[in-house]
Structure 1
Amino acid sequence: MRRCPLCAASTTALYHRDRRRDYYQCATCKLVFVPPAQHLSAAAEKAEYDKHQNSPHDTGYRRFLGRLFTPLLAKLPANARGLDFGSGPGPTLSVMFAEQGYPMAIYDPFYAPDASALAQMFDFITATEVVEHLSQPGQVLTQLVAQLAPGGYLGVMTKRVTSPEAFARWHYISDPTHISFFSQETFRWWAQKNTLAVEFPGPDTVILRKSLSPIAMPSEKH
């Protein structure tokens, strides 16, 4: 039985197949994913990331990150504290927020594996070009939302699935480290399941907001 790595449902069907990998889609949350047997080893995955040349001094990279940075910055209250999750070999988004006066922590399993960052609460968390690399996106996203203060924001950047036809010729699936592919429908499903408000500032960005107070459950009448 092939379980969805986002919602754990077992109703999945082949969505696409190319020369290297298979891609399945979950009938419940619509996530498209590569089965675990076809994932890279951790060493091979890191070797791919080591090729990245991202840096806070690269104005083009800053402009790219601006697609999430700009709409998220507009929502943040003064002194909001943030975490850049999956900061990569050249942390940049954290530098951009720090330049605007927001204290930042970073975490990356390969380049900044400081587990203490995963035991703190934050007013906002960013994950840019991260979720498509996750073998267990449901587990990771649940963990990140748990680290958000009430009313806090989770800002995600990832390219989105639109149709099987577009998927078949999509450059995004040629990266061997990309194994989880979200659509707008997937994000809406996940937001509703976790009582989050969701908006899509751009074609590859999503901002999720945690409710200010726990949802009160109706009391049982005896």
Structure 2
Amino acid sequence: MINALSGGGGPEPAPSCPLCRQPAAHLYHRDKFREYNRCVECALVFVPSQYHLSSDAEKAYYDLHENDLHDEGYERFLSRCAKPLLERLPNTASGLDFGCGPAPLLAHLLGRAGHRMATYDLYYQPDSSVLHQSFDFIVSTEVVEHLADPRQVLLDLWLSIRPGGLLALMTKLVVDRERFASWHYIRDPTHIVFFSKETFSWLAQYLNAELEICGSDVIFLKKP
């Protein structure tokens, strides 16, 4: 990770948005570690690639997390997504927990409710064969904020969902610039893209999806 802003011959042009590919963005915030740009098209706030961690450093940071299958606090946290999702699923649907981490508790909760679950995680469950299957739903909690190429990943997931299925995401949402500046969420060096309601509205239109935002951080995209 680069720990200081580079100086030199004037400001560099803002990079293209990693979600909509719009080349126009403006500086949204700067701290002592990184800078954050905001896309003028889809409103995604993103960290330029020169501030991203290496894969080894990212994995080392994830290894510090201590979630496990018997963590009641972690279960309550995931239930904010699992409960409304279960209310919208048919019986015995097939699902994928994308980015499940070392303790796939969400897949366990959904499986306990009768759904057939597959799991995938880049570092902890890297069997990519499951990504070539199709599913009635895909759930991804606290993952999209880590994606260097959210457009490609989300599009690939969307194409793996059967007609009428759901993509369920859980991520904290940008509200405004003032709150962003003091937001704990940006202190995590593995968080590199930040969505807002406006961003998800753009994404729903791009995917031709029906958008539903539940509470403050749970997003459902339904496929026609």
Q: Do both share a fold (TM > 0.5)?
A: yes
Structure 2 counterpart of 1:9? 22
| Alignment of structure 1 residues 42-61 onto 2, 5 Å | 42-61=55-74
CA distance in 2, matches of 1:108, 1:115: 9
Which one of 31, 37, 44 corresponds to residue 50 of structure 2? 37
**Counterparts of 1:12 and 1:54, CA distance in 2:** 36
Task: Extract unaligned runs of 5+ from structure 2.
Answer: 1-12
Q: Could you tell me the percent identity over the aligned residues?
A: 54
Residues 1:130 and 2:143 aligned together: yes
Q: Say whether 1:70 aligns with 2:83.
A: yes
CA–CA separation in structure 1 for the residues paired with 2:61 and 2:187: 12
Letter in 1 for 2:218: T
Indicate whether 1:180 and 2:163 are aligned: no
Within 5 Å, which residues of 2 pair with 1:68-217? 68-211=81-224
Residue 64 of structure 1: how far off its partner (Å): 0.4
Distance apart, 1:78 and its partner CA: 1.0
Cα contact 1:121–1:149 (8 A) shared by 2:
yes
Q: Give the SS at the match of 1:74.
A: helix
SS at match of 1:187: helix
8 Å Cα contact 1:22/1:35 also seen in 2: yes
- Structure 1 stretches of at least 4 aligned residues deviating more than 3 Å after TM superposition: none
- Residues of 1 paired with 2:149 and 2:163: CA distance? 24
The Cα of 1:55 is off from its aligned counterpart by: 1.2
Deviation, 1:193, is: 1.2
In the alignment, is the contact (CA less than 8 A) between 1:83 and 1:124 conserved in 2?
A: yes
Aligned residues: 211
**CA-atom RMSD, angstroms?**
0.6
Q: Deviations over 1:123-151 (max 9, x none)?
A: 01001000000000011000000000000
